[in-house]
Structure 1
Amino acid sequence: MNYEYPIDEMWSTKEIIDVVNFFSLVEKAYENKVRREEILMLYRRFKQIVPSKSEEKKLFSAFEASSGYSSYHTVKRARDSSNDYIKM
C-alpha cells in the first residue's frame, strides 16, 4: 500500500478513524471478500461525517486516483447484492 487515505483535518480523531476504516474495507473488498452489511454500515457512518454528495465524490475520486479502488462501485455492489459477502 503506497497511497494515502483522503482525510479532512477538520474532522475529529474518531471521524478520521471511521473514514479510514471505510476506505480500508473498500480496499479489502478488492483483495478479499467482505461482509456486505459491514460495507453498508461503514458507508452510513461515512455519510454522517461527509453528508455532501460533492465532497463524497471528491474523496472517492482522490482515493481511487491513489489506490485504483472504486468506493462508489463497492458501495453500489453491496447495495445491489443479496449475498452476505461481496468481492470486487
Structure 2
Amino acid sequence: MDPGPWNECVPVRMPDDQKIHMVSNTRQAVELLTKRWPVNRGKAYQAAIDICLAVLERDSPAYVARAAFVAAAKEAQVNVVS
C-alpha cells in the first residue's frame, strides 16, 4: 500500500494562527498532529495517530489516514477550510 499523496488535500487553519496548512499526505498529517495540534487526547485524535502510523508502515491505504485526520480535526475543532 502506498503512503504517498492523498487524492485530495485537506486545508486546515489551526486555532493559534491564520495560516492555512495544506495537508496533502500522511507525513504532513502526523507532523501537525504531533507538533501543532491543539489537543493531544480524544478518540479521533488517537485513532488518527494510530492510522497514520499504520499507513506510513504500509499497513493501510493513504485514504484511510485522510479520513482519520479529518475526523480528528472535527473533534479538536480545527477549522477544515472548504
Fold similarity call, TM over 0.5: no
TM-score (norm 1): 0.37
Normalising by structure 2, we get a TM-score of: 0.39
More strand by share: 2
Larger radius of gyration: 1
